[in-house]
């Protein structure tokens, strides 16, 4: 009876924690327990009789007394807690909180916090996410996509661009004339003033046609002079530069990366010294600059360089500090001492990319973006702009490439036959095809949701980093699967092969705008743990300010949050999320419940890492990387469910939504399992495992049956195929590559009914199988099929044969290939 009473009290404490009543979660049950034992003592004739009772009762009593005392101190009334524990907690905890350099602080504070905060909370507000509406494309934006964007795509093919080593002059002229470089520039400055979603849609379409084309348009609209000017430029700078950037009179690049400073901007060697000098025949206050930059896209043809450098003012001519810090300026490429023109060769993808150097280049201080008053503010400017821009360009490129691979492989698998069957019927092909389709669905959902957040005024730094890293990694998986399905047709380069260019370009997306290794291991959780956590950033701020009272309030609120996360993780894990209250019904509601469990488990795991490792956590990149995996997969699952909801829950796309979400849930839980398996503080991991991964909480990968349904949704011209590839450029039927496959697919689908009739006739022995050469003629003669159906069969055979051909070259032509 004694232990049953204790178990009941523990369950009461757990329930109070789950409901968010952390302050009473252990005090109230233990107080009830003590009252119970006092009542029992009252019923005894003497103290001696009570203490002569069974040992179990004594143990239970002391457990309750100890637990009640600790709970009262930690979670009890504020005055008692502050008086007895507050100073001690401050002295112990405050010193172990991570200390941030100014560079780290600026990076962490860049951008805004959005739905990532919900995922960190352990109790996401799903209704708010589902009710969020992405800004739709305007009529003008749709007209641009259907007009100039389609026209630009028709002017190039990837193979021709690669062989030429550049875009044709007429393509560059159209890019400038139709202001593709000015999509993010407002109309009042001569740009198109497009939304983030429209900007993303343009890049997606161009990426499905040519990587070189998309990068050439993407970079001027991403992190660079235009965006920096929009947010930080003086009005005079905006009036001068933005119209020229919008119409292509000026071609921009942004020079940040150096041989010794890639991810570590603090290692930047580019230097500027404030001094007086002569510029264009007049003496001005200026800067003498020297730099050596590399991997700079558009640098070989740029007319204006956005330059990041460390500025010093040894004579204090600007009236401030000597060491001003990272600064951004616009440098005309014609300025004396500027070196451009050399090109790198990024895996044979011929977009303009190369080094730029400068030695003793003198320019006025007015060339600083924002003027002299923003000298030394360059790092903050870059981080703020990257917080949003990183979530647009590369997720869009990943979507375009993935949709192209899906459309190509689904057609090829339907047309190509082996052993008398389309290869789409073989389970070995069906498996990667399902993965291609569902991951493409998730990648596009992530792109749309992230762009929608930017249009809503957010600069979601953590979400943008997730979108960049996990969509480009998803693209890598999709492209690799596409290469496997097409086999020899994918490795034989030429006009017919539209998969190989994507395969060659994929590592570029993995590397730029924050290498994926860095983004996963340091940025996503490193920034998210502080910005998105309900209390971590506040605790660090109060500790730095030496606000003892404020720190105590934040710390004990944090403790209550940990208890709540633990209780929710255990309860929701045991019930597979069934206790969670979520909107909707059916499959999506079940997935939202499981996501709520994962969010609680993640919140508790994040606190375990921060509490156990303290300031050492930022050096434990395997730990933070696995926590980043969990957070990212939760976001991708949320995006897929959101897309399914926004698109009207179309039945044809249900297998794709289900596969993508189940895959994401499984990956998120696998990340938590590996996190606990490898957590450095083994005792903490052992204690946390039943809370994070309780019995019955296992989340399975998508089943073979679901994979088969996902693959069937996109083969044979399935209804989901057009919906999931709606954003790409579709070439004319018969054009080498996708055009030939589309024509062949239409012919093959038209021949399926007469094929079925002949097979039925063969089984019924209406006609003989041999001789095979005259089978169709005999079927017509027997009335099994009509002459028109015979023609459809013959056309399908010709088109199928054409679709599976690969390019070959005469020796001289081969030697001329790039």
* Strands 421-422 vs 417-418: parallel, antiparallel or unpaired: antiparallel
- Decide: 263 and 515 in contact? Cβ < 8 Å: yes
Q: How far apart are CA 252 and CA 302, in angstroms?
A: 5
Going by C-alpha positions, the residue among 482, 485, 521 that lies closest to residue 504 is 482
The DSSP output letter for 258 is B
Q: How far apart are CA 662 and CA 666, in angstroms?
A: 6
Q: What is the dihedral of CA 391, 397, 399, 405, to 10 degrees?
A: -160
Q: How far apart are CA 504 and CA 506, in angstroms?
A: 6
**What ranges make up the beta strands (E) of 722-796?**
none
* Strands 304-312 vs 252-255: parallel, antiparallel or unpaired: parallel
Q: How far apart are CA 81 and CA 64, in angstroms?
A: 19
- Decide: 350 and 361 in contact? Cβ < 8 Å: no
The DSSP output letter for 184 is T
The Cβ of residue 433 has, within 10 Å, a number of other Cβ atoms equal to 30
- Decide: 390 and 465 in contact? Cβ < 8 Å: yes
Q: How far apart are CA 463 and CA 113, in angstroms?
A: 8
Q: How far apart are CA 180 and CA 193, in angstroms?
A: 11
The Cβ of residue 309 has, within 10 Å, a number of other Cβ atoms equal to 26
Using the Cα atoms of residue 630, residue 633, residue 635 and residue 641 in order, give the sign of their dihedral: negative
Rounded (10°) angle between helices 704-712 and 427-455: 70
Going by C-alpha positions, the residue among 447, 617, 603, 458 that lies closest to residue 110 is 458
User: Whats the size of the chain, residue-wise?
Assistant: 818
- Decide: 669 and 569 in contact? Cβ < 8 Å: no
- Kindly name the residue from 513, 538, 667, 799 that is annotated as catalytic: 513
Q: How far apart are CA 256 and CA 329, in angstroms?
A: 11
Concatenated DSSP letters of 645-697? HHTT--GGGHHHHHHHHHHHHHHHHHHHHHHHHT-SSHHHHHHHHHHHS-TT-
Q: How far apart are CA 354 and CA 26, in angstroms?
A: 63
Q: How far apart are CA 565 and CA 571, in angstroms?
A: 10
Chain-centre distance of CA 13, in angstroms? Answer: 38
> Which region holds residue 514: left if phi is over 0, alpha if psi is between -120 and 50, else beta?
left
Going by C-alpha positions, the residue among 217, 206, 205, 210 that lies closest to residue 248 is 217
Angle among Cα 808, 813, 818 to the nearest 5 degrees reads 95
The pair of three-digit structure tokens given for residue 816, joined into one six-digit string? 């001329």
Query: Catalytic site residue 513?
Result: yes
- Decide: 244 and 250 in contact? Cβ < 8 Å: yes
Rg of the chain's alpha carbons, rounded to an integer?
Answer: 32
Using the Cα atoms of residue 640, residue 633, residue 486 and residue 755 in order, give the sign of their dihedral: negative
Residues β-bridged to residue 278: 283
Q: How far apart are CA 197 and CA 570, in angstroms?
A: 39
Chain-centre distance of CA 348, in angstroms? Answer: 26
The pair of three-digit structure tokens given for residue 764, joined into one six-digit string? 């019924």
Chain-centre distance of CA 771, in angstroms? Answer: 57
- Decide: 155 and 168 in contact? Cβ < 8 Å: yes
Which residues participate in catalysis according to the annotation? 513
């Amino acid at each position: 009876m004694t232990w049953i009473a204790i178990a009941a009290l523990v369950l009461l404490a757990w329930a109070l924690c789950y409901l968010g009543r952390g302050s009473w979660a252990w005090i109230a049950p233990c107080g009830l327990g003590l009252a119970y034992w006092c009542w029992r003592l009252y019923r005894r004739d003497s103290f001696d009789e009570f203490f002569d009772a069974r040992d179990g009762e004594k143990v239970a009593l002391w457990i309750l007394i100890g637990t009640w005392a600790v709970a009262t101190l930690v979670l009890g009334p504020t005055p008692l807690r502050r008086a007895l524990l507050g100073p001690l907690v401050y002295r112990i905890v405050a010193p172990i909180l991570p200390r941030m350099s100014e560079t780290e602080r600026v990076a962490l504070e860049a951008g805004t916090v959005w739905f990532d905060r919900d995922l960190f909370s352990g109790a996401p507000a799903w209704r708010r996410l589902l009710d969020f509406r992405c800004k739709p494309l305007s009529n003008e934006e749709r007209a641009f996509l259907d007009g100039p964007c389609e026209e630009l795509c028709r002017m190039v093919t990837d193979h021709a661009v690669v062989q030429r080593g550049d875009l044709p002059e007429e393509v560059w002229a159209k890019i400038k004339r139709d202001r593709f470089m000015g999509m993010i520039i407002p109309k009042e400055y001569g740009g198109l003033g497009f939304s983030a979603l429209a900007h993303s849609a343009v890049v997606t379409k161009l990426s499905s046609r040519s990587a070189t084309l998309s990068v050439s348009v993407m970079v001027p609209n991403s992190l660079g002079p235009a965006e920096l000017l929009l947010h930080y430029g003086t009005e005079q700078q905006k009036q001068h530069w933005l119209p020229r950037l919008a119409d292509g009179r000026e071609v921009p690049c942004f020079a940040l990366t150096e041989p010794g400073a890639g991810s570590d901007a603090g290692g930047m060697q580019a230097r500027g010294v404030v001094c007086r000098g002569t510029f264009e025949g007049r003496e001005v206050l200026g800067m003498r600059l020297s730099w050596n930059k590399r991997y700079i896209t558009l640098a070989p043809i740029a007319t204006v360089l956005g330059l990041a450098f460390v500025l010093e003012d040894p004579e204090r001519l600007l009236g401030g500090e000597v060491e001003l810090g990272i600064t951004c300026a616009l440098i005309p490429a014609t300025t004396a001492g500027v070196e451009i023109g050399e090109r790198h060769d990024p895996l044979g993808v011929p977009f303009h990319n190369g080094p730029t150097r400068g030695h003793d280049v003198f320019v006025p201080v007015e060339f600083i973006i924002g003027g002299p008053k923003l000298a030394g503010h360059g790092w903050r400017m870059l981080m703020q702009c990257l917080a949003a821009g990183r979530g647009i360009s590369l997720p869009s490129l990943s979507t375009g490439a993935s949709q192209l691979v899906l459309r190509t492989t689904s057609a090829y698998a339907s047309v190509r036959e082996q052993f008398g069957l389309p290869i789409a019927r073989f389970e070995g092909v069906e498996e990667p095809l399902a993965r291609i389709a569902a991951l493409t669905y998730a990648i596009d959902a992530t792109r749309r949701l992230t762009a929608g957040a930017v249009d809503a005024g957010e600069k979601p730094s953590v979400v943008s980093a997730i979108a960049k890293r996990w969509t480009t990694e998803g693209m890598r998986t999709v492209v690799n699967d596409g290469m496997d399905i097409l086999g020899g047709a994918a490795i034989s380069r030429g006009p017919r092969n539209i998969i190989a260019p994507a395969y060659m370009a994929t590592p570029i997306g993995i590397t730029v705008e924050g290498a994926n290794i860095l983004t996963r291991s340091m940025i996503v959780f490193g920034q998210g743990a502080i910005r998105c956590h309900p209390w971590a950033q506040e605790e660090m701020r109060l500790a730095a300010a030496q606000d003892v009272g404020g720190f105590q309030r934040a710390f004990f609120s944090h403790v209550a949050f940990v208890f709540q996360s633990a209780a929710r993780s255990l309860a929701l894990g045991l019930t597979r999320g069934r206790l969670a209250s979520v909107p909707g019904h059916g499959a999506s509601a079940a997935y939202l419940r499981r996501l709520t469990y994962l969010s609680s488990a993640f919140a508790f795991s994040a606190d375990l890492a921060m509490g156990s490792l303290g300031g050492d956590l930022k050096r434990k990149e395997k730990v933070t990387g696995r926590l980043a995996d969990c957070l990212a997969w939760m976001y991708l699952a949320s995006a897929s469910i959101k897309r399914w909801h926004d698109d009207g829950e179309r039945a044809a796309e249900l297998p794709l939504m289900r596969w993508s979400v189940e895959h994401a849930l499984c990956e998120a839980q696998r990340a938590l399992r590996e996190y606990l398996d490898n957590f450095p503080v083994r005792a903490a991991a052992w204690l946390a495992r039943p809370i994070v991964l309780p019995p019955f909480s296992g989340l399975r990968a998508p089943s073979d049956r679901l994979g088969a349904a996902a693959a069937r949704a996109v083969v044979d011209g399935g209804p989901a195929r057009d919906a999931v590839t709606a954003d790409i450029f579709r070439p004319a039927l018969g054009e080498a590559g996708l055009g030939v496959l589309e024509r062949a697919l239409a012919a093959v689908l038209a021949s399926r009914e007469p094929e079925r009739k002949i097979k039925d006739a063969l089984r019924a022995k209406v006609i003989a199988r041999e001789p095979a050469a005259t089978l169709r003629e005999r079927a017509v003669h027997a009335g099994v099929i009509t002459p028109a159906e015979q023609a459809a069969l013959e056309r399908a055979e010709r088109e199928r044969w054409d679709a599976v051909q690969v390019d070959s070259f005469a020796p001289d032509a081969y030697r001329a290939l790039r």
